[in-house]
Structures are given as structure tokens and as C-alpha cells.
Structure 1
Amino acid sequence: MTAMTTCAPARGLDWLYGGAGDDSLWGGSGADRLWGNSGRDRIWGEDGNDILEDLLGHNLLDGGAGNDRLLAGNGNDTLRGGAGQDLLRGGGGTDILDGGSGNDTLWGDVGNDRLTDLSGSNILRGGAGNDLLTAGAGRDALWGDGGNDTMAGGGGHDTLRGGSGNDRLLGQAGNDSLWGDGGDDLVSGGSGNDTVLGGLGADRLWGEVGNDLLQGGDHRDRLWGGTGRDTLVGGGGSDLIWGGAGADVFRFLKTSDSSRAAPDLIHDFRANSDHLDLRALKLRYIDDAGFSGARQVRWDHVGSETRVMADLNGDGRPDFVLRMLGHLDLDRGDFLL
């Protein structure tokens, strides 16, 4: 038979300790400190700026009103911040963290955790493990950290970073900044004018609705601009790029962004609407004539594709090669040089 302890507050600045059983502790009003010890404990801070700590067992910690600190250990714990600006740390185990109202900081730490904070402007960090992070309408910062994480920014202008692992980042509403970081990530801006960055893996980047900036890394990325006037930067590697609806800009910052050995492929370039931004390469347009000197850019048709080429050193061979589907009739107005 398991012993159970119930500790009621004295309605002041209370220090309450649980024992080696399944305990229930209430802080009441005042700035209280409550320790759970071993067993399946239930701890309520209630009013005041409280500290709730239980590093053993599978526990429930509820801060209540006030600016509280909730610290759990290696069990499968549930932490609820309640009203106020709270700090929640799950520790080890598969934990559930809910910040409640106020501007909160949630850290899952080790384990496959679920972090939710739908009110206020919050900081959510998953830690190690495959975590789920969900924010609301505020200006939130979400970081998956280690593991294969899924995070949703909700409304507001949010910042999302995947960390290591193969992550799924959803900016949703608002003008968001998203960075996949390590791993092969799916990064989606949602509605709003978003900045969508890939990182170190072979990433899939979606701008969706709005005038977005999409930028891949040095691997084979896929970029979809969606609706709006988007700017798409494939980066290194042989990338696949779709601008989507709207007058888009396809930007190349160096020859290795689309080299002769690993050219990018644009699937839906529209002449007299979209633009190829090659300003960083400092080139001169020669239409479809042959190369005759350094820093020249030209185009031709090969099979069912249009090919854009640039010779930077004047040896008559292209250093930069870009493939585009379809027989396009390009002119100087399609280039930003």
C-alpha cells in the first residue's frame, strides 16, 4: 500500500515537502516553495510567485496565478504554468508543458515532449527528443533543438529554428522567420511575408501566401514560392525551384549556386514577369550570341529546356549554368544585372 501525504498551506510564505508516497501539496497565497520527493505527486502553487520542484516520479505541477517556476525530473510529468510569466522545465521523460496565460518560457529538456502556449509572447525550446511545439497569436520564439521536431508558430510574427534532426516548421499566420538548421527539414512560412531558410540538409521550403524570401543551403533543396512576389535563392547544390503565382525573383549569389556540374532547375519561369537576379556575378548580357570575353551571360535552347549560361573568366566555357523548363523567349528585361 502506498502512503499519501496531503499538505495544506498556512496562507503565507510556505515551504512544503512531500514524502516517499503519492503527495498532494497546495501553496495557497504568498511566494511558496514546494518539493514533491518520490511518488506520484500533485502540486499546486496557487496564488503568488511560487517555485514547484519534483525531480522523482510521474507528477503534476500547476503554478496557478503568479510568476512561477516549475521544475520536473526524469518522470513523465505534466506542468501547467497558469496565469503570470512562468518558467517550466520538463527534465527527463515524456512531458506535457502548458504555459497558460502570460509571457512564458518552456523547456522540454530530455524526452519526447509536448509544449503548448497559446497566450502571450513565449519562448518554447524542445530540447533532446522528438518534440511538438505549438504557439498562439503572440510574438513567439520556438526552437526544436535535438531530435525530429514539429513546431507551429500560430498567429503573430514568430521565429522558428529547427535545430539538429529532420524537423517540420510551420510559421502559419504572421510575418515569420524560419530556419531549418541541421537535418532534412520541411519549412513552411504560411500566410504573411516570411523569411524561410533551409540549412545544412536537403530541405523542402514553402513560402505559401505572401511576399516571401526562400533560401536553401548547399544541398539539393526544393523551393516553392507560392502566391505573392517571392525571392528564391537555391544556394549550393542542384536545386529544384518553383516560383508559383506572382512575379518572382530567382536570385543567384555565386557561380556555385548553379554550376556546370550541378545546375539548378526552374520549373515555372515566366518571361516578361519573373526575373533572374545575377547582379552578384557582375555580368554583361549578350542575348543568344556566343561567348567572346569575360563576365558575359547568354541563353539558348537545349531539348525541351531553356539554358542560361555565364562565362566569368573568358575561356569560352560556362562557369554558371541554369536550366529552365520550356522554350522561353528571353530578353534583357528578364535579367537583373
Structure 2
Amino acid sequence: MSDVSPATRLEGAATPRGKARPVSFFEFWPGFVFYAPVVVFWIAQAIRHRSLTLPALTNPRIEAGGICGESKNDILDLAGPEAQRWIAPYAGITTQAHPGGDLIMAEAAMAQANLTYPVVAKPDMSCNGTGVRLIETSDALARYLDAFPRATRLQLQALAPDEGEAGIFYIREPGATHGAITSITLKYAPVVVGDGTSRIRDLIAADDRLNAVSTLLLEKLGTDAARIPATGERVRLVFVGNHCRGSTFKDGRHLITPALTARIDAIARDIPDFHFGRFDLRYASANALRRGEGFTIIEVNGAGSEATHIWDPETSIIEAYRTQFFHYGAAFRIGATMRAKGVKRYGALRLLRAWRHQKALMARYPAND
């Protein structure tokens, strides 16, 4: 079989199949409703293992195991030479205590890391794409830095050129020689193609999925929703690949192969004490991904990450909860093993402080693309 471009309609492509259900009935439930059974499961596991925060021990080199409060830069800095080969180049910087001089400092860090525009700017501590922007010019970077909280870390990363986006979940039991891929999510950013006469808002209304999430998209687009794209012009409506911001997630577990598993396993084992989490990446084609080739990692997430294929509109709620219980059960089991190995407990108050600190920072970040 020849390579499949992300622009095609085949599996792994950048647009989902035609007549699929536009949204699942639970995809946009309030978080407190959807996650209520997960909270009950978490409490049951906490009682069983005598610890509410045991998953924080899954990845002991990462703050809170990656549940919250972790540093994106610090996680990528852990990667050894094999893992670094697959990670998009990046530079970590900290804004100055007072405005002025941030741009000079940032561009010096970019030069040292051999980064050129465009770059992706993202907070060092955040989730769900909060504060992430595509930065194409020096002026745009200056505006982003001016809007960023003072004395706060961020990351500038090379823009991965491939259109395909995926999240690959990985689990390795402590002491095991190899781990396994337990989930792949294919992410399709909302895109419209111009016909030379229709406004962007009209193109959104004509697409079942985009129309179903139009409230998310139109609010972000503002006056640009009235623009008429040229014939054949592809307009990506959201940069951040997140389903709660309008992207479509599809179950990509059919792409799991021994070759891809071996590649992700080698990368994960080159990150010290990494046992549980998700690799977010961009890829060139579905077949290349199956071969464990042609991809670039843009982020590594720990114990707070999800197996996001549950947000495929075709996924049943039973499968969604089965997946959640399997992964959080594994997090508690791995945490218990690490505790038995002597890893120091992570207190509930400490976890609460980390969560509150992250939440406070996220409220101050610039708006994402």
C-alpha cells in the first residue's frame, strides 16, 4: 500500500470520514457530569491502595507525576539522545520581572536552539492548549511576551511541518523491559475550503461537525467569520488540536503496529522513570506512522493526560468509561509499585497547591490560537 497523505480522506488523514456522527451525545457534557463516575472510581482505588495521590508517583522525575503543575520544558529536558531525535527543537525562557527586554532575550534563546520563525509559543505550565499561539514574526512574539505573566516560564518550539496530529498513550510497568501503546487518537483541526462566494460562517454551517461546534468556532473567529475565502483556499479555524476547542478526535488504535510500539517504547525508555503518559505528535502519513517513522513529538504528558480516543463521536459511553477505568487503574497500580520501591509519597495538600497554582497561572495567559 502506498503512503497516505494527511490531506486524503483515508484513515489517518486530516479530515474525518464523511457520514460519521458529528458529535457523541456526551462529548460536551459539563466536566463535573462526565467525570463523576471517574471520581468515584478514583476514590475507590484510593481506599484500596490507602492513598488518594498514588498516581503522582507514576513518573517520579516529573512534578506530581504529571497530574498537574508539571513543567513542559523540564519533561522534555529529561529526554536522552534517542528521545531527543524525535522531539521538535525548543527553547525554554522566563519573562522578566518588569516589561521590556523580553524579545531580545527570547530571540537570543531561539538563536541558541537554532529556531527560526514560525515558532509555537506555549506556557511552560498549562493544559488543554491554554495560551498556545503560532508566532510567525518578531512583532507577534513581542506582543505575546508583553501579554504573558511576568517572571513566568514559557516554551518556544519549532513548528512541526506535518499536518497529521495524534496523541499516543503509553504504559510500562516498573521493572518491565518493554511497554505498550494503549491508545492512539487522530486529531483533525476544523478546516473549511473556500468556494469564492461563501463566508467562513456559511462554510461552517454547511458542515455537520463544524456546525455542531459552531459556537466554539464563531466566538473565536469574531469578525473574520464574515471573510470570503478564495476558491480552494483552506482555512484552519483553530490552531490548537483540542476537541473542546472544535477539533474532531478519532480512534486511531488500528494504527498500532509492532514497529510503532517499538519506536515509542524506545523513546519512552530514554526518558528516565517514565511509565505512564501520552506523546502528542505530528506525523507525515498514516503508513509512515505505522512503520514508526515520519513523526515529530511536540509534547510529553504524564499522569494527568487522557487516552483521548474516547472523544471520537463513534465511541460509546461504555467504552469511554472502560478506557478511563483501565488507565486510571493502571496509574494507581504503577504508583503502588513505585511506593513499594521507596519513592516518597506526594501529599494531597501539595497536589492541591500545585493545581491551584497552575489554575491561577492559566487565568493570566494570553488567549490561544
Which structure shows the bigger proportion of residues in helix conformation? 2
Higher relative contact order (CA 8 A, sep 6+): 2
Give the TM-score, by structure 2 length.
0.18
Which protein has the larger Cα radius of gyration, Structure 1 or Structure 2? 1
Which structure shows the bigger proportion of residues in strand conformation? 1
Give the TM-score, by structure 1 length.
0.19
